[in-house]
Chain A
Amino acid sequence: MSVLLELQGVTAFYGAIQALKGIDLVVNEGEIVTLIGANGAGKSTLMMTICGTPAARDGRIIYDGTDIHAMPTHEIMRRRIAQSPEGRRIFARMSVYENLLMGAHGGDQVAAAQTMEQVFVMFPRLKERRDQRGGTLSGGEQQMLAIGRALMSRPRLLLLDEPSLGLAPLVSKAIFAAIKALNRTTGLTVLLVEQNAVQALKLAHRGYVLVNGAITMQGTGAELLARPEIRAAYLEGGH
């Protein structure tokens, strides 16, 4: 199994506040890796730092053999990394179709049309609502759209920040099933941030626990699920 993404001692700052304190993390090709942690631990920051906003101050981010940590965001994203950011961030006044097209921005039109068909196969709901304004979709549909939009660039690495945020258990199950299916059938590598630690750890091959900007634990999904301190902190409520 080859390494697709490797972070070595990555730090990130918001002004004077240090949000990431030397992160070491590895994502292998074809894996689903999950990142769990309390609110404000720095999970979203880590996802955004991989994409270059905020840029990593120290350390290295090696993606597919190249250090990308100093590159501007749009160049990083051109290397087939896609992110579905926290809070969905659908373009509210644009149609579903236009939202999806934005995901394939700068790419070739024919490929985009093909990819869109694949997205529609995965999320038939989006096809039905193709001309509906993004902002009028339900929360679950918006999440499907956010994932679909990220997939439009045909990524090798998909970064998903809290895809189940605010969704009913059934809908979030469906989203997780879709992620799993994607990973199985296309070998897509996924880095997943989740509040719902049980579901995430069951789904993922491996997981990392982030506390106050630093990794405190790592292991396979099953291993982490069995750890008593994980159960106490993230699975049975309370921090």
Chain B
Amino acid sequence: MIKALKDAGISALIALGIFGAMVGLPSVVGEGGKLSLDPQPWTVAIIVAVVFIGRLGMVLWQANRKPRVKAKSAAHSKYTISNVAGPLLLIVAVVLPMAGDRYLIDVGVLVMTYVMLGWGLNIVVGLAGLLDLGYVAFYAVGAYSYALLAQTFGLGFWTCLPLAGLLAAFWGMLLGFPVLRLRGDYLAIVTLAFGEIIRVVLLNWTQLTGGPNGISGIPRPTLFGLKFTLGDGPDTFAGFFHLTPSVTYRVAFLYYVIFGLALLTNWVSSRLRRLPLGRAWEALREDEIACRALGINVTTTKLTAFAIGACFGGFAGAFFATRQAFISPESFTFIESAIVLAVVVLGGLGSQIGVALAAIVMIGGGEVFRDFNEYRMLIFGLALVVVMVVRPRGLVSGRTPSVSLGKGVHIAADMMSQGHG
């Protein structure tokens, strides 16, 4: 019990450290454009209390479950990065928009988009081991699907979202067929070309896509029919809830939409990992010949990985289109694929929490260093090199078995490096 209290106290302290500055001291623009701090002690106190009670409950609940067999790597069993950072990040993500800082939320949306793309690509690259350098193609397909469906048929975001995902999945399969026999470098080159082909087609098919001018005036998403425009009619969010209209609501809403989509991606992929299909993906990554010898249908296994990964890319694309309200082929260049792939690799192939951390570091960090202008890419590149030298298997490079009986043994990174992965 004492231990549980101590544990919860530490969590609360960490929360205080994080939110104290972030939520508790938002800067507001006062009269005359002067910045001043607007302390919010109660908000912070509530958050810290929630963290404390939550952690206490978690610890006690775990203690009351049937005693677990102590795993050999006891150090790993409790304080793995995923166990500690996961819930913390989740809490930060939930409360982030409550800080009310427009810029912060904007960065949050950006980071979250890459977290989602990272998790989507992780299915293809991290789980199934298929090196895909053209992931941006599905992002583009999703974005253009929504933009065109909305403009041509006047469909709303929520109707188009599944359609965009389906269309992207279809293109994923289409890419999958010709590359079924390819591995490694060859696969990478073909997928890279595929990404470029999609972009070039979008650029040149002027009647449909508007070519380099792109598509503008893409409708914004609604919340059960409530719009986020600046008016205060009964069909707007602000009007319905009798709030002062503000852009922040829209941005915060967009943030929660992408947050939800990212969580969906995470949930689906960690669910799939525990199913025979997900296990087949991982087996495929390890050894294709063994998979064949075990009677696994390698074709369908690969195609589903491409399709499901692409589907989430399509969702993210549709979100991108609705958020920007304007898309053009310029947003879907190879560098996007490269960044998403970097997020996945940097995060430690296959690790969900690692991908999230990497996206925060890379995208969020990139925003922080925006002031450095031309040095930004230099810092970025250096950081990548340093991480890869210090942690060659990515930030979080362990792998927990998707199934185990009773004891969950985390397979440590240093042991993994011996495998041919």
Q: Kindly identify which residue among B279, B286, B409 contacts A131, using a CB–CB cutoff of 8 Å.
A: B409
Q: Is B207 close to A, CB under 8 A?
A: no
- B255 nearest CB across to chain A (Å): 35
Q: Is A211 close to B, CB under 8 A?
A: no
A98 and B287 contacting across the interface, CB-CB below 8 Å = no
Q: Kindly identify which residue among B283, B289, B409, B420 contacts A94, using a CB–CB cutoff of 8 Å.
A: B283
A85 and B290 contacting across the interface, CB-CB below 8 Å = yes
A77 and B418 contacting across the interface, CB-CB below 8 Å = no
Q: Is B92 close to A, CB under 8 A?
A: no
Q: Is B98 close to A, CB under 8 A?
A: no
Among A72, A93, A133, A135, the most chain B Cβ lie within 10 Å of the Cβ of A93
A133 and B290 contacting across the interface, CB-CB below 8 Å = no
| B residues near A78, Cβ cutoff 8 Å | 295
A105 and B290 alpha carbons, distance in the complex (Å): 12
Q: Is B30 close to A, CB under 8 A?
A: no
Contact indicator per residue, chain B 323-364, by CB within 8 Å of chain A (1) or not (0): 000000000000000000000000000000000000000000
B415 and A136 contacting across the interface, CB-CB below 8 Å = yes
A98 and B279 contacting across the interface, CB-CB below 8 Å = yes
B292 and A92 contacting across the interface, CB-CB below 8 Å = no
A94 and B399 alpha carbons, distance in the complex (Å): 9
B-facing residues in A148-164 (Cβ within 8 Å): 149-150, 153
Q: Kindly identify which residue among A103, A105, A131 contacts B401, using a CB–CB cutoff of 8 Å.
A: A131
A103 and B399 alpha carbons, distance in the complex (Å): 21
Q: Is A84 close to B, CB under 8 A?
A: yes
Q: Is B411 close to A, CB under 8 A?
A: yes
Q: Is A106 close to B, CB under 8 A?
A: yes
Q: Is A130 close to B, CB under 8 A?
A: yes
A58 and B166 alpha carbons, distance in the complex (Å): 42
B401 and A97 contacting across the interface, CB-CB below 8 Å = yes
B292 and A53 contacting across the interface, CB-CB below 8 Å = yes
A-facing residues in B367-421 (Cβ within 8 Å): 399, 401-405, 407-409, 411, 415-416, 418-421
Contact indicator per residue, chain A 23-39, by CB within 8 Å of chain B (1) or not (0): 00000000000000000
A102 and B280 contacting across the interface, CB-CB below 8 Å = yes
- B286 nearest CB across to chain A (Å): 4
Q: Kindly identify which residue among B282, B404, B407, B416 contacts A91, using a CB–CB cutoff of 8 Å.
A: B282
B407 and A131 contacting across the interface, CB-CB below 8 Å = yes
A103 and B282 alpha carbons, distance in the complex (Å): 14
- B280 nearest CB across to chain A (Å): 6
A133 and B421 contacting across the interface, CB-CB below 8 Å = no
Among B279, B290, B296, B399, the most chain A Cβ lie within 10 Å of the Cβ of B290
Q: Kindly identify which residue among B276, B297, B405, B411 contacts A93, using a CB–CB cutoff of 8 Å.
A: B411
A105 and B402 contacting across the interface, CB-CB below 8 Å = no
A35 and B123 alpha carbons, distance in the complex (Å): 41
Beyond A94-B282, A131-B404, whether A153 also contacts B295 by CB under 8 A is yes
Q: Is A45 close to B, CB under 8 A?
A: no
A51 and B292 contacting across the interface, CB-CB below 8 Å = yes
A6 and B315 alpha carbons, distance in the complex (Å): 52
A95 and B415 alpha carbons, distance in the complex (Å): 13
* Nearest B-chain residue to A73, judged by Cβ: B292
Q: Is A122 close to B, CB under 8 A?
A: no
Q: Is A74 close to B, CB under 8 A?
A: yes
A105 and B294 contacting across the interface, CB-CB below 8 Å = yes
| B residues near A72, Cβ cutoff 8 Å | 297
B405 and A102 contacting across the interface, CB-CB below 8 Å = no
| A residues near B405, Cβ cutoff 8 Å | 97, 130-131
Among A95, A102, A135, A150, the most chain B Cβ lie within 10 Å of the Cβ of A102
A89 and B290 contacting across the interface, CB-CB below 8 Å = yes
Beyond A74-B296, A74-B297, whether A91 also contacts B286 by CB under 8 A is yes
A149 and B294 alpha carbons, distance in the complex (Å): 8
| A residues near B411, Cβ cutoff 8 Å | 93, 95, 133
Q: Is A11 close to B, CB under 8 A?
A: no
Among B295, B296, B298, B402, the most chain A Cβ lie within 10 Å of the Cβ of B295
Q: Is B243 close to A, CB under 8 A?
A: no
Q: Kindly identify which residue among A51, A73, A98, A153 contacts B402, using a CB–CB cutoff of 8 Å.
A: A98
Q: Is A76 close to B, CB under 8 A?
A: yes
Q: Is A189 close to B, CB under 8 A?
A: no
A149 and B283 alpha carbons, distance in the complex (Å): 13
* Nearest A-chain residue to B280, judged by Cβ: A105
A133 and B421 alpha carbons, distance in the complex (Å): 13
- B401 nearest CB across to chain A (Å): 4
Q: Kindly identify which residue among A73, A91, A106, A135 contacts B290, using a CB–CB cutoff of 8 Å.
A: A91
- B146 nearest CB across to chain A (Å): 36
Q: Kindly identify which residue among B408, B409, B419 contacts A135, using a CB–CB cutoff of 8 Å.
A: B419
| B residues near A53, Cβ cutoff 8 Å | 292
- A218 nearest CB across to chain B (Å): 25
A93 and B296 contacting across the interface, CB-CB below 8 Å = no
Contact indicator per residue, chain B 106-126, by CB within 8 Å of chain A (1) or not (0): 000000000000000000000
A132 and B292 alpha carbons, distance in the complex (Å): 23
Q: Is B1 close to A, CB under 8 A?
A: no
Beyond A94-B282, A95-B401, A97-B404, whether A105 also contacts B409 by CB under 8 A is no
A61 and B290 alpha carbons, distance in the complex (Å): 22
| A residues near B292, Cβ cutoff 8 Å | 51, 53, 73-74
B293 and A89 contacting across the interface, CB-CB below 8 Å = yes
- A104 nearest CB across to chain B (Å): 9
| A residues near B296, Cβ cutoff 8 Å | 74, 102, 105-106
Q: Kindly identify which residue among B295, B404, B421 contacts A77, using a CB–CB cutoff of 8 Å.
A: B295
6 CB-based A-B contacts, threshold 8 Å: A48-B293, A85-B290, A89-B290, A92-B287, A92-B419, A102-B296
Taking Cβ atoms with an 8 Å cutoff, the residues of A that contact B are: 48, 51, 53, 72-74, 76-78, 82-85, 89-95, 97-98, 101-103, 105-106, 130-133, 135-136, 149-150, 153
The 7 closest A-B pairs by CB, nearest first: A77-B295, A89-B290, A92-B419, A91-B286, A74-B297, A135-B419, A95-B401
Q: What 12 additional pairs, Cβ within 8 angstroms, besides A51-B293, A97-B403, A130-B404?
A: A51-B292, A72-B297, A85-B289, A91-B287, A92-B287, A92-B420, A93-B419, A97-B401, A98-B282, A98-B403, A135-B420, A153-B294
